[in-house]
Each structure stands twice: as C-alpha cells, then as structure tokens.
Amino acid sequence: MDMDIQEVLKLAEELIYDHTGENLDYLQKTILQRTLEGQTYKKIAEETYASETHVRYIGAKLWKILSEILGENITKANFRTILENAKIYNLAIGRDNITNNINICPSNPRNSSTKTNPPQTPTQYIIDLDKAPEIINFYGRTEELSTLSKWIVSDRLRVISLLGISGIGKTTLSLQLIQEINGFGDQTPTFNYIIYRTLRFSPTLTTTLTNLLQIFAPETKTSDNIETLLSELQKYLKKYRCCIIFDDVQKLFAPGKLAGQYKSGYEDYQDFFQLLVTVSHQSCLLLISREKIPEITKLETENYPVRTLILGSLGAAANEICQKRQLADRESWEKLINNYQGNPRWLDIVATTIQELFSGQVAEFMEYETLILPEALQAELEQQFENLSPVEIRIMEKIANQNQPISIGETIRKSELSIQESVNVIQSLKKRLLLDRQLENNLTVFTLNPVWKKYLISNKK
Ligand SMILES: Nc1ncnc2c1ncn2[C@@H]1O[C@H](COP(=O)(O)OP(=O)(O)OP(=O)(O)O)[C@@H](O)[C@H]1O
Ligand SMILES: [Mg+2]
C-alpha cells in the first residue's frame, strides 16, 4: 500500500522529536523526504550543497535514532517500509506506546511482549552537535585518533584536554573522533549521549549548565542555583555514559592578562572542571582549547583520570591538502608544509594565495628568502596577538628579533624585566603553546615558530 509520503515523514519527525526533544533541521528533513522518494545520497548532496560524506553521516545518525526508537535495524533501504508499518500500527495503538516503549517492534507487534521489560541500561542514543562545523575533508591523524579512543574507551578517562594552536585541527579531530568511536555499525554505541558545545561566545556557567540539562530533561524547570544545576548534571553523567565536548575553552580566559586567568564572572568554571575530574561518573568530557587549562594541568600531576593531548603538525598527511588544492611542484610541498608548521588552516590560506597569484606553482612562491604571510593569515595571527598581555608582547618581539633561541637569562637582560617577571611571562607563553623549549649545551632555550616570528618582525615596521 502506498502511504502518503508526507504522513510518513510527519510520523518520523514526531518520533524523533519525542525521543530527542529537537526538531529536525533542513538537511535532516530533506534526507528523510528524499529517501522516501527513493533518491540517492549523491543526489541529496547535490540538492543541499552538502558533501556526500556529510549527508551519509547525517543519514546514518537518523537511521540510528529511528532504530533506537523502533527497536528495529532501520537503514536507508528499509526506512519507508518500516515506517509505513509503524504508521499503521501507530494508528491502532496510539503513538505514545511506540515512543514510550523503545523496544517495541512495530512491524511485528506479536514480538513486543517478549521485550516489554524496562531495559536495564539506558538505550537512549542522542547526538546533539548543536552548531558543530561540518567536516568536509579529513586527512591523517591516525595516531591521535587511536590515542584518544584508547583514553576514552579503554582507560575511561573522565576528562581529556585537547590542546593546540589555532587552526591546527582540534575541532575537526574531535568530531572525527566521536564519529569513529560511536561507530554507526551494529555494535552498541559507546555513548548514550554525545553533545558538542562551543564556548566561543563565553556563556556563563549557569547558561551552559541549563542548556545541557535541557538535553537530558527537556520539560523540567531548571534552577538558577549553580549548586543545584551542578548536582543535577552530575546525576545524568553518572546514569548515562555521555561524551560532552566543550570547544574554545580559551574564551573563558581574560584577554590582555597572562595565560590561564579566568574572565571575571567565569571563575566558577574552575570548580566545574575540577568536579568533573574528581567526582566519580561514567562520562567523558573533552575540553578543547588553544591554551592550557590550569585545573587540568594541576590534576594531571595528581594521578586523576585526566590527560592532555597536544596537537601538532598534520605531518605528511598535509600533502593531501596540497593535492586537493591542486598545487604544482610536488617536490616543494614538504618544505611548504614545514614552513607553515603543518597547520591545516595556515596551509589552506597559503594554498589560496599560491593558486591566485602564482598559478599554483609552489616553487615560485617559495623562491623568496622570507616567509610570505598572506593577508588572511596575518589577520588570523593578529586576532590572537591582541589577546596577549603587554609583557608577553614585549618578550615575543625580543625573541622574534633574535637569530638564535633565547634562554631565560637572556630574556632578563634583553627585556629589563625582573627574574620573577621573566619566568612568569615565559611560562605564560608556553601555556599558550607559542614557545618551544629546547636543550642546547645543557642550557634551556626557547624558540618561537617561524610564522609568528615573521608576523612580529613585519608587524613592527
Ligand atoms: N585532519 C585534517 N584533514 C583535513 N583538513 C583539516 C584537518 N584538520 C583540520 N583541517 C582543516 O583545517 C582548518 C582548521 O581546523 P579546525 O577548525 O579543526 O582547527 P582548530 O584547531 O579547531 O582551530 P581554532 O583554535 O581556531 O578553533 C579547517 O578548515 C579544517 O577543515
Ligand atoms: Mg576549533
């Protein structure tokens, strides 16, 4: 029997809303509708201007959620038939029964009696990526992915901090990671909830907690007392295995000061992070930041289930960026990648300039003695430069104008700061991952990465 597509679509939307508390977005709706019409993923991708991989990813999530709700393995191929059956069944028994009893099997109602016991472990499976950016390309990072999966799945760390300078690929890696560990195959998902939130717009802790609690219990009234909110959240982190990603944590720190000092009004995040490390629960919090997070550094030395991964160059996988951007002169790629620190965002910016002004000829672009910083790259560095404290800027400029790495002793001499101040500033720059430490003839020396160095020198002129 041919049921009206709109009706089936409406049922699917309602089921998902009841289950997740969220309405479908444009892409999700289009995927459902076009699937009902028998379209391929490829065509849906063309229509929505999304990549096919992304459409498949979102599609897989939809089938997964619907499978959870209906207790049956739903795929793109059987979605229509099962939903049509569900619709008929639903008309007979009322929708509430379907949604309240996750294990009911609508295409074969007789089986349902064997599955009516409430499940021992929560079978909910909710992905809320909020405004997480879409991953279009993903290259390399196999080692980082396996380290992080191990930390999460086998070592069951409660908190992981993922650090790295701007544009190195933290956000991208974290999204790839959750896609991999939760698998969209048949195995039970690692997490009941996967939530991504960015702190880019500096929400207060109350806002953040309220927002999270809304996901777990959409209809309950929330309190404005932080302690109540915290203990409420802890309850869910114990009951369910959740993965919560907080991105852009550095936005909680005050600009113009030394690293790691919270903006006023945001100090309570300190207790929040600390609590999530020290109090027992079965969830995992992934903190993404351009700078070290002081509480995490401290607790790491105390053997709590918390660890930090610092993300560096994309390495040889960055060749794929050059390939994708159709650059010429393959033999010069390695040097290009090294010069721009294997930073995918920097390489992407530079590739645009090489295409636009050098017809893709990498060798021609690299002919010059000095490193070229395209406008977009300068703007990117400028934004971070403005967040530094005046003493840090002073020291960075001194180091930039040196040809050799600098020791603490030299910074004191060159900058006319006291030993105490010099130590604090160097430490602060290290927390921001802007300085690298080396050992040279038994003397500890610090270097600045060449891109920053170039920026600081040209900035002064
Ligand atoms: N492994 C990767 N393969 C391909 N492209 C990547 C990879 N990692 C990052 N990129 C690309 O590099 C750019 C920067 O990545 P991303 O936004 O993840 O960096 P970030 O470390 O989160 O930066 P920020 O600190 O500014 O938030 C993006 O355009 C992204 O698509
Ligand atoms: Mg990011």
The closest-lying atom of ligand 1 relative to the alpha carbon of residue 137 is 4
pLDDT band with cut points at 50, 70 and 90 for residue 254: very high
Pocket test for ligand 1, best of 170, 172, 290 (most atoms within 8 A of CB): 172
pLDDT in tens, 83-92: 766 654 443 3
Given a contact cutoff of 8 angstroms between Cβ atoms, the answer to whether 175 and 135 are in contact is: yes
Q: Whose CA is nearest to atom 11 of ligand 1?
A: 344
How far apart, in whole angstroms, are the C-alpha atoms of residue 258 and residue 428? Answer: 6
Atom of ligand 1 nearest to the CA of 248: 27
106: which 2 tokens? 């609508």
pLDDT score recorded for residue 135: 80
**Residue 40 Cα to ligand 2 middle (Å):** 32
Most confident of 216-225, 414-423, 450-459: 450-459
Question: What is the DSSP code string of 63-129?
Answer: HHHHHHHHTS---TTTHHHHHHHHHHHHHHH-HHHHHH-TT--TTSGGGGGGG-SPPSS----EEE-
Q: Which ligand is nearest to the CA of 314?
A: 1
For the stretch 32-47, pLDDT in tens is 888 888 888 888 888 8
Give DSSP secondary structure letters for 5-46: HHHHHHHHHHHHHHHHS----HHHHHHHHHHHTT--HHHHHH
Ligand 2 centroid, distance to 247 Cα (angstroms): 7
How many of the other CB atoms lie within 10 Å of CB of 439? 8
Atom of ligand 1 minimally distant from the CA of 136: 31
pLDDT at 411 (0 to 100): 80
pLDDT band at 358 (very low <50, low <70, confident <90, very high): very high
CA of 110 to the centre of ligand 1 (A): 50
Q: Does the pLDDT of residue 460 top 70, yes or no? A: no
435-457 average pLDDT score: 89
Which pLDDT does position 36 carry in this prediction? 85
Given this model, what pLDDT does residue 86 score?
A: 60
What mean pLDDT do residues 321-327 have? Answer: 93
Q: Which atom of ligand 1 is nearest to the CA of 165?
A: 25
The share of the chain scoring above pLDDT 70, in percent, equals 88
Mean pLDDT check: name the lowest of 72-81, 339-348, 372-381.
72-81
Report CA(288)–ligand 2 centroid distance (Å). Answer: 8
pLDDT over threshold 80, residue 316: yes
Site to substitute for ligand 1 among 171, 249, 340, most atoms within 8 A of C-beta: 171
What element of type H or E holds 103? none
Across the chain, what does the average pLDDT equal? 84
Q: Which residue's CA is minimally distant from atom 25 of ligand 1? A: 166
440-455 average pLDDT score: 89
Question: Within 6 Å (CB) of ligand 1, which residues are found?
Answer: 137-141, 164, 166-172, 290, 314, 344-345, 348
Confidence of residue 52 (pLDDT cuts 50, 70, 90): confident
Q: Whose CA is nearest to atom 18 of ligand 1?
A: 169
Mean of pLDDT values over 280-300: 94
Asked if the model's pLDDT at residue 328 lies above 70, the reply is: yes
Domains along the sequence of the chain with CATH: 5-115 (no CATH), 126-310 (3.40.50.300), 315-372 (no CATH), 382-460 (1.10.10.10)
Q: What is the mean pLDDT of residues 192-210?
A: 91
Cα–ligand 1 centroid distance for 425 (angstroms): 28
Given this model, what pLDDT does residue 404 score? Answer: 83
- Model-wide pTM > 0.85: no
Q: Residue 374 above 90 pLDDT?
A: yes
Residue 281: which of 396, 195, 159 has the closest Cα?
159
Determine the residue of 252, 289, 345 to mutate for testing ligand 1's pocket, defined as the one with the most ligand atoms within 8 A of the Cβ atom.
345
Neighbours of ion ligand 2 (CB under 5 A): 171
Q: What is the pLDDT of residue 312?
A: 95
Which atom belonging to ligand 1 lies closest to the Cα atom of 347?
12
Q: How far is the CA of 86 from the centre of ligand 2 (A)?
A: 41
pLDDT at 12: 84
Confidence of residue 187 (pLDDT cuts 50, 70, 90): low
Beta bridge partners of 126: 193
Contact 315, 343 (CB under 8 A): no
| Those residues with Cβ within 8 angstroms of residue 267's Cβ, 6 or more apart along the chain or in another chain | none
At residue 130, does pLDDT exceed 70? no
Q: List, for residues 103-113, the tens digit of each pLDDT value.
A: 222 223 333 33
State residue 65's pLDDT score: 87
Q: Residue 62 corresponds to which tokens in the numbers above? A: 């939809």
Q: How confident is the model at residue 264 (pLDDT cuts 50, 70, 90)?
A: very high
Q: Which residue has the tokens 């993922």?
A: 162
Q: Which residues pair with 65 in a beta bridge?
A: none
- pLDDT of 461 over the 60 cut: no
Question: Residue 99: pLDDT band by 50, 70, 90 thresholds?
Answer: very low
Predicted confidence band at 325 (pLDDT cuts at 50, 70, 90)? very high
Task: Give the pLDDT score at 108.
Answer: 30
Closest ligand 1 atom, residue 344 Cα:
12
